Amino acid sequence: MKIELMNDTSLQNLTDVKVVKRDGTETPFYGYKIDLVLKELNADSKTKAAVYQALLSFMGKKTVSTIEIAQAFISGLKKADQNILAQKYVNYRRQDEENFAEATDPQYKLSQLFDRNSRVVHENANKDSHVFNTQRDLEAGVVSRALGLRMLPDLVAKAHLRGDIHWHDLDYSPVTPETNCCLIDFDEMFKNGFKIGTGWVSSPRALQTATSQMSQIIA
């Protein structure tokens, strides 16, 4: 099959297309994500051109679903006679979806804890997982993480699971409005002053100063 020569700049023609995620949210079409997947697959220039060509079939559309993008991606791989890469991509997406389903399932995460899965049990290396209080903390933590990932937009939750970003204290937030960073003895600090680095901060004399210090400490 003859494939027209194309490069990643060709995908700039899709910048006006909105991508509808599985949770119904819309985002711009990000061509770099296509290139990241192609790079992961070690696709050659011919294969890349075939995928670009398949994706450019969306030109003129206002919206396109992630499922349609995946189907076009696979179609491009097959047109470049890369059936093995197409199957590798399908397997990756299936595994990615299974991992996400497991990460957002409180019952599954609890079963991992009760089976003493090393990643779950040793979430906090400073605490003995055999101690009752720690077990209770771990139980609450795994449930909060699963529910928290459900509450976050899929884009954010999956980015956290893949390591692209890190959502701080997921075992607290967003299920609760506080995180570990909020567990601060402000009464002691404001009454007696405190030290940050090599500098000493005296007890604030005005409410505005205290609230400003409080917001900075939490941040």
Q: Examine residue 3 and state whether it is found in any structural domain, yes or no.
A: no
pLDDT of 124: 54
Whether 150 and 91 share a structural domain: no
118 pLDDT above the threshold of 70: no
Q: Which two tokens stand for residue 4?
A: 């027209």
Identify whether residues 19 and 67 lie together within a single domain: yes
Determine contact, residues 145/169, Cβ cutoff 8 Å: no
Q: How many domains does the chain have?
A: 3
Range of the domain at 48: 8-95
Same-domain check for residues 20 and 64? yes
Percent of the chain with pLDDT over 70: 89
Q: How far is Cα 23 from Cα 45, in angstroms, rounded to an integer?
A: 33
Mean pLDDT of 53-68: 91
Say yes or no: 43 and 71 in one domain: yes
Q: Tell me 152's DSSP state.
A: S
For residue 55, the model assigns a pLDDT of: 92
Report the share of the chain in percent with pLDDT over 90: 36
Query: What is residue 104's predicted lDDT score, i.e. its pLDDT?
Result: 93
User: Residue 45 domain-assigned?
Assistant: yes
Whether residue 47 sits in one domain with residue 117:
no
32 and 60, same domain (yes or no): yes
Judge if 123 and 54 occupy the same domain: no
* CA 134 – CA 118 distance, rounded (Å): 15
Helix (H, G, I), strand (E, B) or coil at 182: helix
- 158 within domain boundaries: yes
Mean pLDDT over 138-154 rounds to 90
pLDDT of residue 125: 52
At residue 199, the 3 state secondary structure works out as strand
Answer whether 40's CB lies under 8 Å from 86's CB: no
pLDDT of 100 strictly over 80:
yes
- The answer to whether 26 and 20 are in contact (CB under 8 A) is yes
